[in-house]
A and B are shown apart, each in its own frame.
Chain A
Amino acid sequence: MIYTLIIHASPVQHQAPETALRFARALLEAGHTLHRVFFYRDGVFNANDLASGAADEPSLPSDWLALAQEHRLDLVVCIAAAIRRGVLDSNEAKRYDKHQSNLAQGFELSGLGQLVEASILSDRVITFGGRG
C-alpha cells in the first residue's frame, strides 16, 4: 500500500513527530511504500538543522535523514510555513536577505500542492499532531 504522512507538530514540544517516524519505519518494514512525508505548520521544525538538543536526546532531523537515505524518501517541507518560522534553504535565505540557511540535509521546501498531489497518489494519508 502507498502511504503519505503529514506532520503538523514540532518535535521539541510534541510526541507526534516521533510517533510518525516510528510509524514510517514500521510501514516500510512491513513492505509498504512511503510516497512522501509532508511537514506542515510547526512540523517544519523537524527540518531545522540548528535545533541543538542534549546529547542523550533524539535528533529528529538526523533520524529523518537516516531513514530517507536508506529508503530514498521524499521529505517535503511546506515553503510558506517554513519561511514564516525561519526554516530556510540557501535560495530562500538569499531571497529574504538572511545571512544563513538552516534547512536540514535530506529535506526540500515546496508548496502545499505537494500535499494534495501526494494524497491523490496514496492509498492512505495519515496526519500526526493535527489537533490544535
Chain B
Amino acid sequence: MDISFLIVQFISGLTMATLLFLVASGLTLIFGVGGVFNFAHGSFYMLGAYLAYTFVAGTHLNFWVAVLAAAVGAGILGMLAESLFLRRIYGRAEEEGFQILLTYSFILIIDDLVKLVWGTEYKSLSRPAGFGGSLIWGDITLPTYNLAIIGVGLLVVVGAWLVLSRTRPGRIARATALDRETMGMLGVNVPLTMTVVFGIATALGGLTGALAAPLRSVTPGAGIEVIIDALIVVVLGGMGNFWGAWLAALLLGEVNAVAVATVPEWASLFSYLVMVVTLIFKPEGLFAPRQVRKV
C-alpha cells in the first residue's frame, strides 16, 4: 500500500463524505430549524436524480443547469408536501410520531409515483462535458467529476454558513428553531418560514441526488438506502448540528472508502459498525455537547 493509493482512496472517501453531508445537511436543517423529522428526505434525493435525468436526457439542458433545476424542482415539491400535508399535523398531540408516519407515507407514495412516471428500469446519467476524465499525476488518478462534487460541497457549506449566520432570514430561521410560538408572537411568519426551510432542505436533498446520479445509477427505491445513511450521519453528528454532521459524514465517507478497497462485499456494513461502536462508547453522538438534562 503506497502513498498514491492512499491519496486516491482518500479522495474517493471525500467524495462520498461530501454527498453524505449534503444529503444529511438538509435533513438536519429541517429538524434543527423546524423541528420536523423528514423521513422521506431520501425520496427527495431520488426525485432530484430523476429530474436531473429528465432535464439532461429529455430537454438537453446543460448538466449543471439541469442539476440546479432538479434542486429547485425537489425544493418546490418539498414546499408542496409541507404546505399541503405536513402543516396539518403541527401542534397535534404526539406530533413527532405522526411526523414520522406521515413522511413515511411520502416515501411509499413517491416510490410508486417515480415508477409510474419514469418506469422501473435503471436510468443512467453521464458525467458533464469537461468532467469525464481524470487528473493524472504520476500514480495518482483522480476523476475530475469527484473533485467537482467536493468543490460543490465546499460551496454549499460556506454558503449555508453565511446565510445562517449573516443574513436576517438565516437568523430568523435559527430563532424559529428555538420556539415556533414565541417567534409567531414576535411577528415572524412562522408557517411561511417553515415552508421555505422545508423547501431549502428538500432542495439540498434533490441537489445531492442530481449530483450523485452520474456516479450511481438512478433507481426507484433509492430513497430508503440514502435516508438510512443520512440518518446514521445525523445520529453520529447530533441531530440539528450542522458541523457535527460534516465531521460524521467525513468519518463515514473515509471508513467506507477503506472498506470498499479492502472488503468490498461487506462494505455496506461499515457505516452500521461505526454507529454501533459510537452508541456503545458515546451514546449522545460523537460531536454532541454533553448534556446533563434529565427532566
Whether chains A and B associate is: no
A interface, CB within 8 angstroms of B? none
